[in-house]
Amino acid sequence: MTFITENAGTIIVAVVVAIIFLAIVIKGIKNKKEGKHSCSCGCDGCAASEYCHKTKD
């Protein structure tokens, strides 16, 4: 129990960082399932659009 009380600040920060990380991962998975892409650009004129946004055949 003394370990927890001596390291309460570190534990709280670690939990907050873990929650933020999980939220980002869950949002990324949700966006991928909905067909959204990570870039927010208009890919019509992008030279690399054929590589990053391949169409399903």
11-54 pLDDT tens trace: 999 999 999 999 999 998 998 888 776 665 556 666 666 666 66
Mean predicted confidence (pLDDT) in 1-9: 94
56 three-class SS: coil
The pLDDT, as a whole number, for residue 55 is 59
51 three-class SS: helix
The pLDDT, as a whole number, for residue 24 is 95
pTM over 0.75: no
Rounded CA-CA distance 11/17 in Å is 10
Rounded CA-CA distance 47/14 in Å is 41
The pLDDT, as a whole number, for residue 34 is 83
